[in-house]
């Protein structure tokens, strides 16, 4: 679960922007630190190198002087050692070694190249320590001269600078990643709200709206526009529903009068005559139209809501048994097997569910009746009811032909029929009424495939 959420998190554009921004920050910090290094530690290294080069060049010029003798050259070296304790001078010739080191370092870089190397130094307490010097080896006509200056600080400074630089880069990395994480969380929460809204609207909950904060940022502007768009859509849908309700209400009375007239006219004909037969067929058509209008008005009434004061304790177990008793004769006509399975958790209580019993009975019966109607003869239909402490799950499963997945949401819209030719039974209001009843009780309804067949699931919260 956590890994899946992390994958979703790292696929966002904000996270990619954070990584790019982090790389840019690290690049800028590294460039600044490189410049600081050049003007501090690098400058000190260059100064010491320059001093060693100048000293070596001076002794080179001195050794090439025609008037300079070996004794005078050695005297000049000794005088330089006496004047400065920071310089290392060692002259080695065939006779002996003079200077402030007992021997020349091996493989020392030749002038003008420079090289760091360690030397052993005895301090005033008689303790031997290792010091780092920067030097070069100069070949003169009086022998091989090693020249070096103490450069202990460069390693300390360089080490401290590297440590500080790594710490600064890590700090910048952590700060930018945490900032990106928090920003990503904020953006994802707003995007998640939009995603939840679209899911609710798709599921038919057109009253859902996006929250708008007091910040009035770009997300609030988008949320306000989306809310306005949904308000306009809701108004249009309500207008269409109102028109259909008005048409149904206005036509129901004259249709009832026509039906009464046709029914009264049947007394003048023999029921087996042609005139009686077409009048009977006309009555069936009128009845279907009146039933459609009644269902449309009933759906509108349910969508507007039923007072909660009419709700009372509902025994779902008894309700499901009554549905099976009423639906069994319908299933037997098609030689279908209709079964009921009820499971109740030990900690659950049947009295937790409040609702309107007649409406809940109608909703469950409509789903079972649809399963019987569209399942082939000798098919199987199962009504399963699971009652827990938190909710009641009612599932109707059949092994009929089912419907395509793309119709799962559409069948809950009023007057929608899977058969586009509208030649089948029904008028596309049964499932919308079921959905209205379920949502009136704070529940939800969904469809899935039974492979083969269709499964309709109703969830009612306690």
Q: How far apart are CA 165 and CA 32, in angstroms?
A: 10
Judged by average pLDDT, the poorest of 176-180, 213-217, 270-274 is 270-274
Query: What is the residue extent of each domain of the chain?
Result: 2-39+157-197, 41-150, 218-304, 308-461
CATH class (in words) of the domain with range 218-304:
mainly alpha
Q: Is the pLDDT of residue 342 over 50?
A: yes
Tell me how far the alpha carbon of residue 190 is from its chain's centroid.
11
> 41-150: what fold?
Beta-Lactamase (3.30.450)
pLDDT of 382 = 95
Cβ pair 456, 395 in contact under 8 A = yes
- Asked whether this chain's domains 218-304 and 308-461 adopt the same fold, the reply is no
Q: How far apart are CA 462 and CA 391, in angstroms?
A: 5
Summarize the confidence of residues 146-168 as an average pLDDT.
81
Highest mean pLDDT among 96-100, 229-233, 310-314, 374-378 belongs to 374-378
Closest to 29 measured CA to CA, from 167, 146, 130: 167
Strand partners, 137: 110, 146
Please tell me whether residue 38 adopts helix, strand or coil conformation: helix
Strand partners, 445: 458
pLDDT of 421 = 38
**pTM of the shown model:** 0.50
More confident residue, 12 or 349: 12
Q: Is the pLDDT of residue 350 over 60?
A: no
Compute and round to an integer the Cα radius of gyration of the chain.
47
> 308-461: what fold?
Heat Shock Protein 90 (3.30.565)
Helices (H), 64-151: 70-83
């Amino acid at each position: 679960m956590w890994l899946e959420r992390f994958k979703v998190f790292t696929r966002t554009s904000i996270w990619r922007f954070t990584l790019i921004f982090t790389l840019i920050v690290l690049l800028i910090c590294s460039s600044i630190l490189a410049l600081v290094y050049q003007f501090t530690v690098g400058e000190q290294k260059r100064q010491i190198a320059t001093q060693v080069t100048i000293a070596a060049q001076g002794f080179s010029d001195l050794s090439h002087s025609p008037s300079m003798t070996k004794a005078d050259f050695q005297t000049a070296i000794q005088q330089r050692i006496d004047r400065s304790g920071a310089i290392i001078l060692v002259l080695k010739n065939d006779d002996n070694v003079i200077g402030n080191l007992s021997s020349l370092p091996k493989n020392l870089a030749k002038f003008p190249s420079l090289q760091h190397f360690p030397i052993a130094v005895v301090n005033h307490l008689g303790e031997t320590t290792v010091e780092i010097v920067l030097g070069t080896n100069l070949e003169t006509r009086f022998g091989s001269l090693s020249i070096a200056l103490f450069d202990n600080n460069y390693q300390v400074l360089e080490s401290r600078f590297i440590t500080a630089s790594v710490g600064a880069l890590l700090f910048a990395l952590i700060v930018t990643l945490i900032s990106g994480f928090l920003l990503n969380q904020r953006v994802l929460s707003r995007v998640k709200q939009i995603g939840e809204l679209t899911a609710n609207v798709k599921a038919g909950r057109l009253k859902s709206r996006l929250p708008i904060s007091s910040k009035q940022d770009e997300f609030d502007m988008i949320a306000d526009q989306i809310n306005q768009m949904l308000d306009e859509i809701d108004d249009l849908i309500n207008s269409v529903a109102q028109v259909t309700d008005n048409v149904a209400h206005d036509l129901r009375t004259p249709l009832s009068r026509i039906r009464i007239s046709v029914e009264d006219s049947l007394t003048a004909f023999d029921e087996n005559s042609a005139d009686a037969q077409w009048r009977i067929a006309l009555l069936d058509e009128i009845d279907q139209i009146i039933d459609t209008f009644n269902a449309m008005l009933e759906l509108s009434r349910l969508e507007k809501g039923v007072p909660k004061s009419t709700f009372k304790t509902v025994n779902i177990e008894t309700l499901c048994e009554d549905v099976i008793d009423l639906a069994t004769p319908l299933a037997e006509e098609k030689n279908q097997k209709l079964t009921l399975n009820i499971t109740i958790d030990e900690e659950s209580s049947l009295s937790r569910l409040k609702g309107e019993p007649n409406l809940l009975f109608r909703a469950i019966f409509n789903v079972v009746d649809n399963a019987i109607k569209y399942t082939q003869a000798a098919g199987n239909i199962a009504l399963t009811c699971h009652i827990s402490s938190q909710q009641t799950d009612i599932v109707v499963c059949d092994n009929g032909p089912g419907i395509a997945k793309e119709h799962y949401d559409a069948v809950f819209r009023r007057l929608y029929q899977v058969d586009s030719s509208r030649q089948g039974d029904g008028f596309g209001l049964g499932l919308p009424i079921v959905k209205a009843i379920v949502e009136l009780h704070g529940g939800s309804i969904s469809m899935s495939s039974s492979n083969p067949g269709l499964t309709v699931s109703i969830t009612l919260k306690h």
